[in-house]
Each structure stands twice: as C-alpha cells, then as structure tokens.
Chain A
Amino acid sequence: EPEVTQTPSHQVTQMGQEVILRCVPISNHLYFYWYRQILGQKVEFLVSFYNNEISEKSEIFDDQFSVERPDGSNFTLKIRSTKLEDSAMYFCASSDQRARNEQFFGPGTRLTVL
C-alpha cells in the first residue's frame, strides 16, 4: 500500500542552524501538507501546497519557514534559523483531493534544537 515517507526520522541541530526536512508524498497525490506536534500538545497545521505554490499557511508558518517541491517526488520543509521552540515532531501529509478526502500522514521527523 502506498505511503508517505519522511527523512530523517530524527534530526538534532544547534540553535540558529538551518534544517531541511524531507518528505516523499504518495505518488498520485496532488496536495501536500506540513504539520507539527510539540511534545504533549496538539498536532498543528503549518502549510499546504498545491500546483507548486503555497495554498494556505497558518500563523505558525512565518518567514523562517519555507516549502519546496524540488522535483517530481520530494516535498521539503526548510527552517532557516532554528529556535529552541521549533523542537517538535514534523509530519508531512498528502491527499489526492483538497481536504475532501483523507490526508495521509508520514511517520514524522523528530526535530531537536539544542
């Protein structure tokens, strides 16, 4: 069964460093999303992406964040200058129809900022 994959599973970085989290969405899906979950808290929406552009973003998704689909399979989230409070689990998701069908989530990348 097709699934969303994410790499790395765990990323440790120093405050102020740039990180890139990678995702490979399900191949025939057209909508891509990033969410984060701070330890013990709710899963929060960050951004959605369709047709090579951001279609929606939350207030969390500030100028430190960017997304890109560099090729036909990968979808990346970049955090330019990490802060301690960026430590969280980051989930990528994809769907084949905008928010009308199921969003399928990857296993997540645990980001630890020291």
Chain B
Amino acid sequence: SQQGEEDPQALSIQEGENATMNCSYKTSINNLQWYRQNSGRGLVHLILIRSNEREKHSGRLRVTLDTSKKSSSLLITASRAADTASYFCATDARGGADGLTFGKGTHLIIQP
C-alpha cells in the first residue's frame, strides 16, 4: 500500500454509532493529521498527532498512533448525520519534507 492509505474505503453506519477509520503509512513521520472533506468542498483540519504521542482526543474524536506498526486510527463517537464526509490521513515525512502525503480517504456515510 502507499503512504497514508486509509481503510475502509467506505463505511456506512447508523447515527449514534461509533465510526472507526484506519490509516497506514510506510516512512518515518513527524506528525500525522486527519482531515475531513465534504463533497466537493475544502479540507477541514481535524486533529494532529505527533510521532511521540500515542493518543489524542478532541471532542468526539479520538486518534491513536502506533509508530511501530506505522498506523493510526480515527474514532468518531456518537456519530451524527453531519459527520457524513470523506476522511483523510496525511503525513509529513521525517527529514523535513514540507508536503503532506494524503491517502485516498474513507468515505463515511451516517444513516439518520
């Protein structure tokens, strides 16, 4: 798989349930970030986790990072219809590279 690959590619759940999305990457990183994109719109920054952190919370979002497995997960608790969007992880490689490498994203659909 390529740097910043998310799975599943698509996820459909009922409102109120929790949604978990995973991301894997290949190279050593400084940070991993999660972004949300509503259809045809811009990227909204959700959360950044640094390589020396293992878990981070922000509201209904919980992100974990396992650098030994080169993987991260994003958990959205108590999902709402407004959470329907595509979610992307993005990494910046250790060594000072500027550009973020994005995955293909997970398309999340919350059924009312």
Interface residues on chain A, size class: 20 to 34
Which single residue of chain A is at the shortest CB-CB distance from B93?
A: A99
**Interface hit among A12-20, A39-47, A65-73, A74-82:** A39-47
- Are B101 and A104 in touch, CB under 8 angstroms? no
Q: Is B81 an interface residue (CB 8 A)?
A: no
User: Is chain B's binding surface mostly helix, strand, loop or mixed?
Assistant: strand
Contacts of B31 in A (CB 8 A): 99-100
Number of interface residues of B (CB under 8 A): 24
* Bound-complex Cα distance A84 to B99 (A): 25
Q: Is B60 an interface residue (CB 8 A)?
A: no
Interface set, chain B 50-104, CB cutoff 8 A to A: 88, 90, 92, 96-104
How many residue pairs link A and B with beta carbons under 8 A? The number is: 64
- Are A56 and B97 in touch, CB under 8 angstroms? yes
Given contacts A100-B31, A101-B48, contact A43 B43 (CB under 8 A): yes
Interface set, chain A 92-114, CB cutoff 8 A to B: 93, 98-108, 110
A residues whose Cβ falls under 8 Å from a Cβ of B:
31, 33, 35, 41-46, 48, 55-56, 58, 89, 91, 93, 98-108, 110
**Additional A-B contacts beyond A56-B98, A103-B45, A105-B35 (4; CB < 8 A):** A43-B100, A99-B30, A99-B31, A107-B41
